[in-house]
Amino acid sequence: MVTRKTVWIGTNWKMNKGPAEALAAAEALKSYHPPEGVKPFVIIPFTSLQAVAGVLKTSDVVVGAQNMHWEESGSWTGEISPEMVKECGADIVLIGHSERRQHFAETDWTVSRKMAAAMRHGLRPLLCIGESLEEYDYGVTDETLARQLKIALHDVAVEDLPDILVAYEPVWAIGAGGRAADTDCVARVHTGLRRVLNEIAGAEIGARVPLLYGGSVTQDNARSYVEQPNVDGVFVGRAGWNVPDFEKLIDRIIEERAPA
Ligand SMILES: O=C(CO)[C@H](O)COP(=O)(O)O
């Protein structure tokens, strides 16, 4: 097998799996060895973060949290600080997922604060950006994504940008009612995102920021995204919740990939 680039393949468990089920899934995942060049990751609910991170600590699977606050501590009932996320053993923190923007009033401003906080605490932010169906229909996808990206990265040092992950997740593609974006659309959008990154950071650094696609990714379509230029991985929801299915999805991407 020949790999051309590091491929990030992750799943977001969202609000699924209580501590017992999460632990069982982590035990199942810990002996998984991904193909060369692949970095698998799982994004875990807070109630299981520490336990799952403990089990997967010595494995090939990277663990992340689904959200965090930007402040170090204080009167923020119900919130989790960057330090708490770090202490639980997470390496990645998901920031700006569309479900948080949509249902929990997350804004470009809060996303920006969280991005800077994650970098300060040595966490790898996985920034999610994506246009709504209305924005897509009005033809403002590129403008929407450029705005989200520029505001999110505003307070991140340019030289640190290769340490982040960016996932393009069109809101209309996500979840049971979603429709997977076609590969031409993803290739075009990701080329535009790369252009914005190059504008922000220069071509040498911009080229090193991993860009993932997410939204109704399945075992059958995952490879078609990873084959596109400027697509450095996929971010999976439902298709990754079952551990054997997640492993199969990863294995199929690599097995079926044409040699470089
Ligand atoms: O979080 C997600 C993983 O990318 C995203 O919401 C996609 O979910 P899916 O449509 O169930 O794959």
Residue 184 in tokens: 């031409």
Q: Say if residue 43's pLDDT is above 60.
A: yes
Contact 43, 66 (CB under 8 A): yes
Helices (H) and strands (E) in the chain, counts: 11, 8
- Nearest ligand 1 atom, CA 218: 12
| 196-239 pLDDT tens trace | 999 999 999 999 999 999 999 999 999 999 999 999 999 999 99
Give the per-residue pLDDT at 255.
81
Average pLDDT in the 94-108 region? Answer: 98
Is 246 in a helix, a strand, or coil? Answer: helix
Q: Please indicate whether residue 238, judged by its CB atom, sits closer than 6 Å to ligand 1.
A: yes
Residue 129 CA to residue 91 CA, distance in Å, equals: 20
Give the per-residue pLDDT at 260.
53
| Catalytic residue from among 99, 106, 131, 169 | 169
Distance between Cα 233 and ligand 1 center (Å): 13
Q: Say if residue 181's pLDDT is above 90.
A: yes
Q: Please indicate whether residue 174, judged by its CB atom, sits closer than 6 Å to ligand 1.
A: yes
Residue 73 is classified by DSSP as S
Average pLDDT in the 2-8 region? Answer: 72
Instruction: Please name which of 139, 115, 95, 136 lies closest in space to residue 235, comparing C-alpha atoms.
Output: 95
Confidence band (pLDDT; 50, 70, 90) for 1?
A: very low
Give the per-residue pLDDT at 165.
98
Give the per-residue pLDDT at 254.
82
Residue 228 CA to residue 184 CA, distance in Å, equals: 8
Distance between Cα 80 and ligand 1 center (Å): 22
Percent of the chain with pLDDT over 70: 97
Residue 256 is among the residues annotated as catalytic for this protein: no
Residue 16 in tokens: 């699924």
Q: Please indicate whether residue 175, judged by its CB atom, sits closer than 6 Å to ligand 1.
A: yes
Is 133 in a helix, a strand, or coil? Answer: helix
Residue 169 is among the residues annotated as catalytic for this protein: yes
Q: Say if residue 173's pLDDT is above 70.
A: yes
Is 34 in a helix, a strand, or coil? Answer: coil
What contacts 143, CB < 8 A, 6 or more positions away?
none
Confidence band (pLDDT; 50, 70, 90) for 259?
A: low
Residue 126 CA to residue 66 CA, distance in Å, equals: 9
Is 14 annotated for ligand binding? yes
Residue 44 CA to residue 185 CA, distance in Å, equals: 29
Mean pLDDT of the chain: 96
Domains of the chain with CATH codes:
7-32+44-55+81-255 (3.20.20.70)
Residue 203 in tokens: 């071509």
Contact 44, 66 (CB under 8 A): yes
Instruction: Give the residue whose CA is nearest to atom 8 of ligand 1.
Output: 237
Residue 257 CA to residue 175 CA, distance in Å, equals: 26
Distance between Cα 218 and ligand 1 center (Å): 10
The pTM score is 0.96
- Please state at what angle helix 46-56 crosses helix 19-29, rounded to 10 degrees: 20
